[in-house]
Structure 1
Amino acid sequence: MDTGTHLVMGFALGGLATLDPVVADNTLNSHSVLLATIIGSQIPDIDTFLKFRNNAVYIRNHRGATHSIPAVILWPLLITACAALFFPGTNLLHLWLWTFLAVFLHVFVDIFNAYGTQAVRPFSSKWVALGIINTFDPFIFIIHVIGLIIWAIGANPGITFIFIYAIVICYYLCRFAEQWAVKKAVLKIVPNAEKVIIAPTMRYFKWRIVAITDKRLFVAKANKREITILDEYDRVPIPENEVINRAKKDKNIAAFLSFSPIFRWELEELENGYEVRFIDLRYRSKGHYPFVAIVQMDEDLVIKGSYIGWIYNKDKLRKKLDVAPR
């Protein structure tokens, strides 16, 4: 989820914590728990600061170690220890329990995005991405804000957010049902699909789709379960040759390949070298595939420029590569 949604969820958990008598009957405990749930709802995304290094490091590590099983255990312990310094005398057990719930819930809801997390590390580095909730879901954000407003005007926060979360759970179940219906509709059009990747958008009935067969890649969209094929590509394995193998050693290309589950590749000979492109097929927007990784090499396979990230025009890409336009 996005930072804003995680934030309102942290406040919501602080309100929900008032159902705990140990928290509700003690001002010190309620204040410490509210602060801890807000911090706990944000702390796994501390790896966002990796953006300041470069995109490759960020993409390879975001929602990785900080969202892993050891992290879910360690973050609450760290937050509880720090909170205890500022709130001496607070009930540490209940502080830890509510902090743990905040951290766990952050990682748990991220699993439902198309981006996903490496939530089962260290047992597996596989990305877990169920793809039923957009990174920013207007309904989930707005219903939390409504709950906070109701709390602010004097309603019981515990009862308010029990009701809110019952609605959210129903919403998730509806999204699962909608995604399943979309998948069934896709399989009617591409019955031999080996795999169907369905990614949500901010609009409830609109989905991005990639269907994979043994020979073809189909990029499609769904609107109210009506499927429209947008692009088709041959499914061509990445070849084993000197140019491709050198490109795969570049940090940006390696980051892309570690993250993207479905893509197409292109190899182009330039006047004085080569350009290798990898294009993620999940994010088609207005006829364009913005998430890419590109590397340019000279004739001796020395890398002259590379980039991974979101690109919407060629001029910006050339600046990122720091090479002269062709």
Structure 2
Amino acid sequence: MDTGTHIVMGIALGGLATLDPAVGVDNPTAQAVMIGTLVGSQAPDLDTVLKLRNNAKYIRNHRGITHSIPAIFIWSFLITGLLTIFIPESNLLHLWLWTLLAIVLHVFVDIFNAYGTQALRPFSKKWVALGVINTFDPFIFFAHIVGIVIWTFGGHPGLTFLSVYAVLLVYYLLRFAMKRRIIEQLHKRIKKIDQILISPTMRFRHWHIAVMTEDKFFVARSVNGRLIFLDEFERIPVPQTEVIKAAEEDDNISAFLSFSPVYRWEVDEYTDHYEVRFIDLRYRSKGYYPFVAIVQLDLHLNIVSSYTGWIFSEEKLRKKLELVPE
């Protein structure tokens, strides 16, 4: 989820914790728990700082080790330990338990995005991505805001957020039912499907879809329960030519390939260089595929420039490569 949603979830857990007799409403433990749930709800996303280095590091590592099982416990012990230094009167066990819950909830809700997490590490490096909730879901965010407003105007925080999460449970089940219906529709339209990748958008009944069969890629959208097919590509394996092999040595390309499950490729040869491009098919927007990886090599197969990330026009991509078109 986005940072804003994780923040309001941290506040909500702090409110929910008032139902715990050991926490209460207005005492050192309640204060420590509120801070613990707020910080814990953000802690796994500390890896966002990798974006300051480059997109390749961020794509390869975001929601990886910091969202793993060992990291969940490390974060909880670290945050609890620091808080007990500043608020020693707090109940250590209950502070740790609520802080731990905030961190677990962060990782848990991220699993429902199309991006997913490596939450099963160290047992598996597989990305777990259920694809039923957008990174920012307006309903989830504003449901928390409503709960916070009710609390501000005197509502009981524990009972208020217990009600909010009961509503959200129903909402999540509804999203799963919507996704299942889309999958059923796809199987009626396309035969011998190998894989379906569905990405929710911020709009409640709009979904991005990429489908792989033995020899085709289909790009589609579900709008208000209706399937709309947008593109169709031949599924051609990436040839292991010398140019491709050299391109795959680049950090941006290898990061993209480690993350993207469905993509097509292009190789262009110019008078003085080669250009290799990989294009993720999951996020088509206004006729453009914004998530790409591209590398340019000279005729001796030395990497000249490269980029991976979100880009919404060819002109901006060229600027990223420091090559403005003629």
TM bucket normalised to smaller: over 0.9
Distance 2:229 2:50 in 1: 37
* Offset, 1:246: 0.6
**2:27 is the alignment partner of 1:32:** no
The residue identity in structure 2 corresponding to 1:150 is: I
TM-score, normalization: structure 2? 0.99
* Offset, 1:26: 5.8
* Secondary structure, aligned partner of 2:112: coil
8 Å contact kept, 1:219–1:232: yes
Distance 2:147 2:178 in 1: 26
Over the residues paired in the alignment, what is the CA RMSD in angstroms?
0.9
* Secondary structure, aligned partner of 1:265: strand
| Counterpart for residue 56 of structure 1 | 56
Distance 1:178 1:98 in 2: 32
| Counterpart for residue 221 of structure 1 | 221
Which blocks of at least 5 consecutive residues in structure 2 are unaligned? Answer: none
* Offset, 1:323: 2.7
The residue identity in structure 2 corresponding to 1:265 is: W
| Counterpart for residue 21 of structure 2 | 21
* Offset, 1:187: 1.1
| Counterpart for residue 164 of structure 1 | 164
Distance 2:323 2:287 in 1: 25
* Secondary structure, aligned partner of 2:193: coil
* Secondary structure, aligned partner of 1:23: coil
* Secondary structure, aligned partner of 1:21: coil
The residue identity in structure 1 corresponding to 2:223 is: N
Distance 1:26 1:267 in 2: 64
- More displaced, 121-130 or 176-185? 121-130
8 Å contact kept, 2:315–2:324: no
| Counterpart for residue 208 of structure 2 | 208
The residue identity in structure 1 corresponding to 2:83 is: A
Distance 1:25 1:218 in 2: 54
Q: How many residues align?
A: 326
* Secondary structure, aligned partner of 2:274: strand
| Counterpart for residue 150 of structure 1 | 150
User: Aligned ranges for residues 1-326 of structure 1 at < 5 Å?
Assistant: 1-24=1-24, 27-325=27-325
TM-score, normalization: structure 1? 0.99
* Secondary structure, aligned partner of 2:268: strand
* Secondary structure, aligned partner of 1:229: strand
Which blocks of at least 5 consecutive residues in structure 1 are unaligned? Answer: none
* Secondary structure, aligned partner of 1:175: helix
8 Å contact kept, 1:305–1:323: no
Distance 1:271 1:259 in 2: 32
8 Å contact kept, 1:185–1:225: no
Distance 1:258 1:195 in 2: 17
* Secondary structure, aligned partner of 1:210: strand
* Offset, 1:293: 0.2
Cα 1:25–1:5 change in 2 (3 A) is: closer
Query: Cα deviations across residues 181-236 of structure 1 (Å, max 9, x unaligned)?
Result: 01101111112211111110111111110111000000000012211110000001
The residue identity in structure 1 corresponding to 2:275 is: E
- Detail structure 1 runs of 4+ shifted over 6 Å in the superposition: none
8 Å contact kept, 1:196–1:211: yes
Distance 1:184 1:210 in 2: 14
The alignment-based identity, stated in percent, is 58
Distance 2:139 2:106 in 1: 17
Query: Cα deviations across residues 224-256 of structure 1 (Å, max 9, x unaligned)?
Result: 221111000000111111100110010000000
* Secondary structure, aligned partner of 1:240: coil
* Offset, 1:125: 1.2
- More displaced, 15-24 or 223-232? 223-232
Distance 2:131 2:324 in 1: 39
* Offset, 1:314: 1.7
8 Å contact kept, 1:205–1:224: yes
* Offset, 1:271: 1.2
Distance 1:309 1:198 in 2: 20
Distance 1:238 1:121 in 2: 29
Distance 1:59 1:194 in 2: 25
Distance 2:62 2:25 in 1: 39
